[in-house]
Amino acid sequence: MARVHRTIRMSSCACGRVRCQAVGVPILSVVCYCDDCQEGGQKIERLPNAARVLDADGGTPYLSYRDDRFSCVSGADLLVGYKIKDSAPTQRFVASCCNSGMFLKFGRGHWVSMYRARFEGDLPPIEMRTQTKYRLVNTEIPHDAPSYRTYSMKLIGKLLASRLSMLIATISRLMALVPADGCPLNHQNPPLEKHVENGTAWVAGCHLADLLPFRVIRFILTVCP
């Protein structure tokens, strides 16, 4: 199967025991000023020795990634989820080893918003500031990116587009792999790769995966966030 090079970014708690990985282009690089993010961030910052997650003006910078491009590669057992109230659909996950805010998960949303402060190295520029109607300070808002008082159509559009590309990725993956014990079209070409997943062996390389629709899907996957 075609291999696509994707950037891998690591976020790490202050003491280094919890490390999370994000692959590819984020859905969005955003600063959120909503009341929940401010309250949730303050709650984290009140924990002993916690590192800051909020900017001085109350905004929280995030890099948001699709669920299927996010993983916790070490220290997952140290993560503790915090809610603003019991019924809240959002949990903010903190590395309990050093009380570093790591990421936010919104209920059944298909994305994870990782606290930008936990990343090192080159990061994508901030694309927008959102929910600025909740911004409390009187200082001028930074002009590094467009600001929106509420959730913008651009933000909603990016989330919808990422959900679609995630769906396409799943379908493509399922259809490009066929059971190792036989191609459904009886193709005789040798398998190129072998995967074992859930106890079943699968091969990639069946002619099925070379049909035009799959080439189109692969192309889409290379350009979609």
Q: Count the residues in the chain.
A: 225
Write out the two tokens for 128. 């927008």
Q: Which is nearer to Zn ion, 111 or 202 (CB)?
A: 111
Of the candidate residues 37, 50, 183, 217, the single one contacting Zn ion (CB under 5 A): 37
CB of 21 to Zn ion, least distance (A): 16
Residues 162 and 110: beta-carbon distance below 8 Å: yes
**Which span (12-20, 154-162, 176-184, 194-202) binds Zn ion, by CB under 5 A?**
12-20
Structure tokens at 143: 């002009």
Q: Which residues pair with 70 in a beta bridge?
A: 22
The tokens for 11 are 């976020």
Question: What is the distance between the alpha carbons of residues 132 and 149, in angstroms, rounded to a whole number?
Answer: 4
Which 56-115 residues touch Zn ion, going by CB under 5 A?
A: 95, 97-98
Segment interacting with Zn ion, rule: CB under 5 A, options 5-13, 139-147, 157-165, 190-198: 5-13
Q: Do residues 194 and 181 touch, judged by C-beta distance below 8 A?
A: no
Q: Select 119 or 214, whichever has its Cβ closest to Zn ion.
A: 119
Q: Which of 25, 28, 32, 94 binds Zn ion (CB under 5 A)?
A: 32
Residues that bind Zn ion (CB under 5 A): 13, 15, 17, 32, 34, 37, 95, 97-98
